[in-house]
Amino acid sequence: MKIAQILLKNIPVDISIPSRLEELSAIDPQLLLIFGCVRHLTDPLFVESINRVFPSLAKIGCTTAGEINRDGVHDETTVITALHFENSRFQIATAQLANMDASFHAGQTLGAGLSREGLRAVMLLGQGVNINGSALIDGVVSILGQSIPVTGGLAADGGAFSRTYTFSPAGVSSEAVIAIGFYGEKLFFSHGSYGGWKAFGPIRKITHCANNILYELDGKPALEIYRRYLGEYAKDLPGSGLLFPFEMLTDMRESSGSIRTILGINETDGSLILAGEINPEGYLRLMHAHTNDLVDGAEIAAQAVRNNHEMRQGQALAMLVSCIGRKLVMGGRVEEEAEIVGEILGNDAVLCGFYSNGEICPGHQLHVCSLHNQTMTITYLAENR
């Protein structure tokens, strides 16, 4: 595998970007991973420049709440990573997602588009606002089965929770979800995911929910209870909800290993819109974190990648998808979690990725793929020689 990467900042589109893109041509790229700010990916001139330099090249990506490369974390930039596979193949599938209720069907469409002999792993990117991430994953898994690892994330828009975009061979869209399947015996794939958040406060029974909409906790409007615990942070909802996600507990009040972030609120019925589905028989508890806890979580995720498989020699891709909530908590120290991942994975790993509205990966020490919030998720991709 050969990998090349560039970081595009706020530079003139018509002059500088094409020349920078040409730097990627040295490896004869087959695939571009594009993670960038909303301002870039919704600029027709910006997208046109990419398509003009690489008119027939496969491209996937999404908007973000921050971009990641080997040098750290960036804002209002675009990281483009070019890949050339020597012993593996890939296939891209897309589906339209007009509304949240269509998430499962969209996942099935993606799965059907990738279902063929030799599939080893799937990378999944979805819009990050009007979506049920859990249902999207379930749709993919219903076609491909649980033995195929699925990783990726949900697009972001800098924390606005208004409109996110994905980038596929069909162009930039606020309604498209994308999956890329990797095929071949030489493909080397590993992953890791961990949070670092800690639970606090009483355990609350879910008394009314529907899919990813939480209406009641302990028989009272969920929004009312949530506001009570947030105190002064409540005035900044839904954005401040990123600082206080929910830990999901089973019907036996045991941790399920999943966290849910709030994507929106409904003042009319007092409900909370969460990033993924909720167990109607389960319980929820609030969580919070400190920077050191989150950096430790990123280290655990990176160690899981190493523990899953021995690292290979030669270039490898490490795609990092971390939650925007982690970025808000860490503030000026946010680069520390990317730095620790880079140290553990070694100099041969080319880091790329983004801050997201949701992370997709099998859970820590679990094999079933699911939607996560507030985690650092790592996808490690390489080829055996």
E-assigned strands of 67-194? Answer: 67-69, 72-74, 78-84, 89-96, 119-126, 150-154, 166-168, 171-173, 176-183, 187-194
Nearest Cα neighbor of 84 from 12, 135, 32, 20 is: 32
Q: What is the pLDDT of residue 313?
A: 64
Nearest Cα neighbor of 297 from 250, 259, 265, 271 is: 259
| Residue 264, beta-bridge partner list | 273
How far is Cα 2 from Cα 371, in angstroms, rounded to an integer?
A: 30
User: Domain residues of the chain, as ranges?
Assistant: 2-194+293-383, 198-287
How far is Cα 122 from Cα 124, in angstroms, rounded to an integer?
A: 6
- Structure tokens of 347? 């100099």
How far is Cα 226 from Cα 326, in angstroms, rounded to an integer?
A: 19
376 touches 324 (CB < 8 A)? no
Q: Which of left, alpha, beta for 299 (phi over 0: left; psi -120 to 50: alpha)?
A: alpha
CA atoms within 13 A on the CB side of 331: 7
| Residue 82, beta-bridge partner list | 4, 32
- Structure tokens of 170? 């069909």
Nearest Cα neighbor of 80 from 29, 12, 6 is: 6
Q: What is the pLDDT of residue 310?
A: 65
pTM for the full model? 0.89
How far is Cα 49 from Cα 51, in angstroms, rounded to an integer?
A: 5
pLDDT digits (tens, 9 = 90+) for 154-189: 999 998 889 999 999 989 999 999 999 999 999 999
Q: Is 74 exposed, middle or buried (CB count within 10 Å of its CB: 0-12, 13-18, 19+)?
A: buried
70 touches 41 (CB < 8 A)? no
How far is Cα 168 from Cα 179, in angstroms, rounded to an integer?
A: 9
Residues 265, 269, 270, 271, CA torsion sign:
negative
Show the low-confidence residues of the chain (pLDDT under 50).
none
CA triple 256-260-266, angle to 5 deg: 140
Q: What is the CA radius of gyration of the chain?
A: 20
Q: Which of left, alpha, beta for 159 (phi over 0: left; psi -120 to 50: alpha)?
A: left
